[in-house]
Amino acid sequence: MNEADSERIGRSFAARGFELTDSLKAADAVVINTCTVRQRAEDKAISQIGRLRKWKLARPDGKLFVVGCAAEKLGRKYIRNRFPFVDEVVGAKSLDKIEALLPDFPTLPDFPPENRHSVQKHTTGQPSPLPTFRPPTPRLPDSPVSAFITIMRGCSLKCSYCIVPAVRGEASYLAPEEILAEAEAKIAEGAKELILLGQTVNSYRYEGKDGAAVSFPALLKMAAALPGLARLRFMSPHPLFFTDEFFRVFRENPRIGRYIHLPVQSGSDRILKAMRRGYTRARYLDIVAKIREAAPDAAVSTDFIVGYPGETEADFRESLSLIGEAGFSFAYCFKYSRRTDERGLEPDLDEAGMDERLERLLAEVKKNSGAILNARIGRIEEVLPESRDFGRTSANFVVRPERGAELEPGALVRMEITGVVRNALKGRPVP
């Protein structure tokens, strides 16, 4: 999701004649899009800001923007006091202010292409809400086959470990006509796959002035029908917001990718209750079963947190056993990082203890993922190439062509799966 936010910021700069660059020396402006979902992400952002002191000394006329969730949490005063060379601080709740800050820069009509400035992105972690889409927007170079569409901002849930509501605010939803307009613009730029984004993306429900409401399944159905679209995805849904209407739309629309990333965080009911996740292990498994009932070939991945305060060995084993029972194709696994100010939320395990559990969890995920990948050998899969050397199946498995073969980015191709290479499938195009 952070990539989508960074792209939106990049488009704002591009509208004023800037071009993206990977060269810090060439950059006239640097934007650090920060994250604070875990302490490590926040620490990385702070370190990156500090390293840019030399760039600012060499380019005193250059502009340094610090934006996003860590900027919201730490605040403008803290950042400017610690790093006085930072020009602008824009928190996650007010990223639309970036638009108002850019008129100081030259605009595209007045600035010939050969002299345009550059902007470098330094992305660190998760996303921040961005301004309402206002088509038309300037096209960025090398527009990807797969493009992001933000459909909501913030979160209204109160999971005990999560800082997102504090730095992003309550959930708010973009109007469906704005979402579809952006989707059409991305398709016109060459995107063949769209990914709808939100912290609890399937909670989407927009109520218009006439009182009519558009639900998440209804939005999926509208987006999936857009001409020129090959595949539609979304992330990340929350177990609390699945409905019968969703499963019906999912089943009836094969353009919707047969892959759902569904964070669980723990396999233990006791820990899930302490986390205030709002569901049980049994309810989670019921949702997974309904996903596969609607689409038998669907893949499900997840998130786990290890070492949550009070997690016992028995609780941890519940997470281990859930991997095989749910049949996760992949999992993002993290050590607990205290992000809220609630008392008592200190881990019981020391760093070595959390590392040990994390290693065991990752080993179980790897074993399960390997079995799922090997089970795909011999199948014919529809692959959407993102480059000449890899593409993705509808179930989001990476497929690399056999030696000597190349793929055409954006053109759906049927491939026979012939093997597994590390965490990816290997295949050859077939008629």
Residue numbers of the chain with a pLDDT score lower than 50:
107-117, 119, 121-141
Per-residue pLDDT at 139: 47
Buried b / exposed e across 158-175, counting CB within 10 Å, b at 16+?
A: ebbbbbbbbbbbebebbe
Distance CA 180, CA 149 (A): 9
Nearest to 280 by CA among 269, 291, 266: 269
Tell me, what's the pLDDT at 4?
Answer: 74
Give pLDDT, residue 116: 42
Per-residue pLDDT at 421: 92
User: HSE-up of 213 (CA within 13 Å, CB side)?
Assistant: 6
Tens of pLDDT, residue by residue over 397-422, are 999 999 888 899 999 999 999 999 98
Taking alpha carbons only, the member of 298, 306, 410 closest to residue 363 is 306
Which strand ranges, in their side-by-side order, compose the sheet holding 88-91? 19-20, 118-123, 29-34, 63-68, 88-91
Residue 426's beta-bridge partner residues? 400, 419
Burial class (CB in 10 A: 0-12, 13-18, 19+), 111: middle
Position 208 scores a pLDDT of 85
* CA 256 from centroid of its chain's CA atoms: 17
What Cα–Cα distance (Å) separates residue 139 from each residue in 20, 143, 181? 11, 7, 15
Radius of gyration of the chain (CA): 22
The string of pLDDT tens digits covering residues 135-163 is 334 444 455 799 999 999 999 999 998 88
> What's the fold here for domain 1-125?
Rossmann fold (3.40.50)
CA distance 203 to 155: 10
The span from the CA of 304 to the CA of 354, in Å, is 13
Whether residue 316 contacts residue 352, with contact meaning beta carbons closer than 8 Å, is answered with no
The DSSP symbol for 230 reads -
Q: How far apart are the first and last CA of the chain?
A: 35
CA distance 407 to 402: 10
Partner residues linked to 419 by β-bridges: 426
Neighbours of 343 (CB within 10 A): 6
Q: β-strands 29-34, 118-123: how paired?
A: parallel
Write down the domain spans for the chain.
Answer: 1-125, 132-257, 380-429
| The predicted structure's pLDDT at residue 104 | 60
pLDDT reported for residue 105: 58
Supply the pLDDT for residue 8.
81
**Residues 233 and 195: beta-carbon distance below 8 Å:** yes
- Evaluate whether 36 touches 163 at the Cβ level (below 8 Å): yes
CA distance 392 to 425: 9
Rounded CA-CA distance 327/371 in Å is 10
Q: What are phi and psi of 165, to 5 degrees?
A: -60, -30
Max CA distance (Å), the chain: 66
* Residues near 177 by beta carbon (within 8 Å), at least 6 away in sequence: none
Helix or strand (DSSP H, E) at 63:
strand 63-68
Q: In the prediction, which pLDDT does 154 show? A: 92
User: At a CB cut-off of 8 Å and minimum separation 6, what does 104 contact?
Assistant: none
Q: Which residue has the tokens 């250059």?
A: 62
Q: Distance between CA 281 and CA 339 in Å, rounded? A: 24
Residue range 132-257 forms a domain whose CATH class is alpha beta
Taking alpha carbons only, the member of 159, 246, 248 closest to residue 204 is: 246
Rounded Cα gap, residues 410 and 424, in angstroms:
19
Q: Return the pLDDT at 103.
A: 64
- What token pair was written down for 46? 């702070």
